[in-house]
């Protein structure tokens, strides 16, 4: 899938053919770095990279660049999420260069949730760019060594560029086409929306393989545990893009008294095991909101601690000065 872009741990794991695991770190609502360290420690034993969200659901938290910088300083490999909702192209280009200078190597490019979804509905969105033009901007900085204005950079940022995809939201036939646009714009890896409908993901991946996109981008399927049937219904009704079939909610409702959280976790483990068998899936992205302690449990129960290569490893694709991860 082309040359090495950043040499990040995530990129090396994916290029080696190992089934990758990433997870989201929920940023603190304060300025204490110890909260970041504590949450990262829970995730680090089973994850290849840790996502630092960027005001997801349009809610203010510690910034993604700050969380990512703290993770780098602690020896972790962050995926810095960057949205277009709150920045114009001047700020975006500066933040991309600053992130690279801080040692951040992975960037997930997002448009961002609308301000009406959060607790600051009177905020003014910027949206100078969207996720696709953000990808193009980052690729121009990295590959062309210039700003959008045409002015040359003194040094290029080494970045592994990611994007999001939602195989589950209508119009379904459009989703592979949308993915293709992001790959053309510069996406090196993809993290999908939560998967609770594995048959639908299989259909999406069939179209992805038919288009040859699985040979051009690494795809990590989004998964996550459901705390309860009530929480699942809330996500389905209030979180944009999340699709949870009725049978999943009914199964959680049917759990023994006090057992809904355990059943939600069991469903997640089963989904991980099924997703792992889909050709073209290179890993999973675990989103366990305020439940970081479940990430290790899910990875262990799904049998991912002893991960084997899903494709033939080619040392040349990593580079002479790099080695495959142990």
For residue 295, report the phi and psi dihedrals to the nearest 5 degrees: -60, -50
End-to-end Cα distance, the chain:
21
Mean pLDDT of the 294-311 span: 79
Can you give the residue range of the structural domain that contains 19?
9-225+281-290
Over residues 273-295, mean pLDDT: 94
pLDDT at residue number 211: 98
Residue 257 lies in a domain: no
CA distances from 106 to 10, 189, 225 (A): 8, 10, 25
This prediction has a pTM of 0.92
What CATH number does the domain containing 123 carry? Answer: 3.20.20.220
Is 252 inside a domain boundary?
no
In a domain, 321, yes or no: no
Q: In whole angstroms, what is the distance from residue 130 CA to residue 141 CA?
A: 16
The angle at the Cα of 228, spanning 264 to 248, to the nearest 5 degrees, equals 55
pLDDT bucket at 1, cuts 50 / 70 / 90: confident
Q: Kindly report the average pLDDT of the chain as a whole number.
A: 92
- Asked, for residue 269, whether it belongs to a domain, the answer is no
As for how many domains the chain has, the answer is 1
> Half-sphere exposure (CA, 13 Å, Cβ side) for 189?
33
Residue 248, in any domain of the structure: no
Span 300-313, average pLDDT: 66
> Taking a C-beta distance cutoff of 8 angstroms, is the pair 185, 111 a contact?
no
Task: Kindly report the three-state secondary structure assignment for every residue of the chain.
Answer: CCCCCCCCHHHHHHHHCECEEEEEECCCCCCCHHHHHHHHHHHHCCCCEEEECCCHHHCCCCCHHHHHHHHHHCCCCEEEEEECCCCCHHHHHHHHHHHHHCCCCEEEEECCCCHHHCCCCCCCCCCCCCHHHHHHHHHHHHHHCECCCCCECCCCCCCEEEEEECCCCCCCCHHHHHHHHHHHHCCCEEEEEECCCHHHHHHHHHHHHHCCHHHCCEEEEEECCCCCHHHHHHHHHHCCCCCCCHHHHHHHHCCCCCCHHHHHHHHHHHHHHHHHCCCCEEEEEECCCCCCHHHHHHHHHCCCCCCCECCCCCHHHHCCCCCCCC
What is the model's pLDDT at position 306? 62
Read off the pLDDT of residues 20-63 as tens digits, 9 standing for 90 and up: 999 999 899 999 999 999 999 999 999 999 999 998 888 999 99
Domain-located, residue 241:
no
User: Encoding tokens for residue 7?
Assistant: 């040499």
Does residue 16 belong to any structural domain of this protein?
Answer: yes
Residue 207 lies in a domain: yes
| 137-175 tens-digit pLDDT | 999 999 999 999 999 999 999 999 999 999 999 999 999
Instruction: Report the distance separating Cα 91 and Cα 70, nearest Å.
Output: 21
């Amino acid at each position: 899938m082309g040359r090495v872009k950043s040499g990040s741990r995530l990129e090396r794991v994916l290029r080696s053919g190992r089934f990758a695991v990433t997870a989201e770190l929920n940023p603190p609502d304060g300025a204490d770095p110890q909260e970041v360290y504590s949450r990262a420690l829970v995730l680090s034993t089973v994850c290849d990279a840790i996502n630092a969200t960027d005001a997801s659901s349009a809610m203010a938290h510690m910034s993604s660049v700050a969380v990512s910088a703290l993770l780098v300083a602690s020896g972790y490999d962050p995926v810095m999420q960057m949205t277009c909702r709150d920045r114009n192209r001047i700020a975006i280009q500066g933040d991309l260069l600053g992130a690279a200078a801080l040692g951040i190597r992975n960037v997930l490019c997002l448009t961002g949730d609308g301000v009406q979804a959060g607790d600051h509905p009177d905020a003014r969105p910027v949206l100078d760019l969207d996720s696709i033009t953000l990808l193009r901007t980052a690729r121009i900085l990295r590959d062309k060594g210039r700003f959008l204005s045409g002015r040359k950079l003194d040094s290029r940022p080494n970045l592994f560029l990611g994007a999001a995809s939602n195989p589950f939201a209508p119009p379904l036939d459009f989703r592979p086409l949308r993915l293709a646009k992001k790959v053309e714009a510069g996406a090196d890896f993809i993290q999908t929306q939560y998967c609770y409908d594995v048959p639908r993901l299989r259909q999406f991946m069939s179209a992805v393989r038919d288009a040859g996109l699985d040979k051009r981008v690494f795809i990590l399927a989004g998964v996550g545990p459901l705390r309860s049937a009530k929480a699942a219904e809330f996500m389905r009704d209030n979180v944009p893009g999340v699709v949870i079939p009725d049978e999943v909610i009914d199964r959680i409702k049917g759990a023994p008294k006090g057992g809904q959280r355990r059943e939600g976790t069991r469903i997640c483990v089963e989904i991980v095991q099924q997703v792992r068998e889909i050709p073209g899936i290179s890993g999973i992205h675990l989103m366990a909101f305020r439940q970081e302690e479940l990430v290790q449990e899910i990875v262990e129960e799904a049998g991912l601690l002893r991960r084997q290569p899903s494709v033939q490893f080619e040392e040349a694709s990593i580079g002479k000065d790099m080695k495959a991860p142990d």
